[in-house]
A and B are shown apart, each in its own frame.
Chain A
């Protein structure tokens, strides 16, 4: 048996994930804007920021919060969740979510990712120096002139704080760790309950004067796929528009580019907080797999409930399972699930790593017969239809 055939589901998953990443982050944007498709009016079934200049669809989390703010029940987006969840459970997280794929990549490429995060740190420092009077060199010059010793010490302290954080994160060695299922249950329940559900209903946003999308203020997916690209686009000189020779109002140009406005001056403390949160999360992701999915994602939390009855899901054959002595499922699982303890649980993203690698074929995939075409019907432990 060749190595390529050995992990058939894994190879397929990698291809689908790459497609999901490219689609979710907008490589097919031009298709999404062509009438009568106009996917922007349909929430995507995975976490994608609707301020992402290339995103083909709307953000499901943002849509949820938007309808809570306006006092309407989010029928359409909830319907999409029910459709997808009933068939695939949380499989979307493992196979299509762009931010999930990013976390997988960060974990797999730990040594390289470290330097990407250092670059992000540099971006943050440059940004702070560029926009904020707290960090600008001019203010230090003024402080020296006016002999403001306390102000000078505070200024130096801020930089020491930032570079100290870089030093701690990247030059000290930390061990890899796993988050317990119980802790991650608490975490995702918290993030679902407060910033996603209760705050949009009851807490007024100081900018919008209505209930705001509070989860978006901490969402790292928004920072990655919307904040950074938007700031980079806005950093380009205006003369560069229309981009690539296209007319400014062309449907092929994402809205962020078409409606050019200088947003750089508007990003203050909140932008710094968002970038810092993203950097911290990426750093933690180097040490533990899919931390955001496990601990904070409200979309994953919603899909979790479907895992117990969805048409496609992973089950364990108790007779074949050798339990803790084998432990292969836990080692390969991106969500750190011990299949032999409680089965696939609500955390399972059906990545099928365990189905591929279980030496006793105890981890199996259940699917209805009409979905046979999607999964390979070979000897790799696809549970028989009864």
Chain B
């Protein structure tokens, strides 16, 4: 791509800001992975005798809930319009703040 290379040589520094160059996996993922194993074991209730009744197995609870029909998922039952209205108001406020911040950023530039 010689043409592209020529174009790129002409571009100023602002168009190529710093990007990630890290090429190693690092070690943080190992720590998080080990933390994940601990969480899974606690969730599976393996430490129940050690930590007490609060840390019993969550698997049965997940199983029994998963085997029931979730009314919300399939759109059955009643809906509380007040809550939907709240949700849409929050979304509108969020987007309004986003728009304001965006305008502010553009003005700064």
Q: Which residues of A contact B (CB under 8 A)?
A: 38, 40-43, 49-51, 55, 57-59, 62-63, 66-67, 70, 72, 74-87, 182-183, 186, 190, 194-195, 199, 203, 205-208, 212-214, 216-217, 219, 222-223, 226-227, 230-231, 255-256, 259, 263, 266-275, 306, 309-312, 315-318, 321-326, 339-344, 359-360, 364, 366-368, 383-386
Contact = CB atoms under 8 A, between A and B. Distances in A.
Contacts, number: 245
A85 B31 CA distance: 12
Contacts of A194: 87, 90
A230 B74 contact: yes
Nearest to A72: B58
Contacts of B25: 311-312, 366-368
Contacts of A384: 23
11 contacts: A40-B62, A50-B65, A50-B66, A75-B58, A186-B95, A194-B87, A206-B77, A207-B77, A217-B75, A322-B4, A342-B17
Contact of A58 (B17, B63, B83): B63
A279 to B, nearest CB: 13
Contacts of B22: 315, 366
A238 to B, nearest CB: 17
Dominant secondary structure of chain B at its interface with chain A: helix
Given A78-B39, A325-B4, 17 more contacts: A49-B70, A66-B62, A72-B58, A75-B42, A76-B44, A86-B29, A186-B98, A199-B83, A207-B78, A213-B72, A213-B73, A256-B69, A266-B71, A272-B75, A311-B29, A315-B21, A367-B25
A76 B18 contact: no
B73 A62 contact: yes
A341 B15 CA distance: 8
Which of B15, B66, B71 is packed against the most chain A CB atoms within 10 Å?
B66
Interface of B: 1, 4-5, 7-8, 11, 15-26, 28-30, 32-33, 35-44, 54-55, 58-63, 65-67, 69-80, 83, 87, 90-91, 94-95, 98, 102
A83 B40 contact: yes
Nearest to A62: B70
A309 B43 contact: no
Given A213-B72, A227-B73, A315 B23 contact: yes
B83 A214 contact: yes
A85 B60 CA distance: 24
A190 B65 contact: no
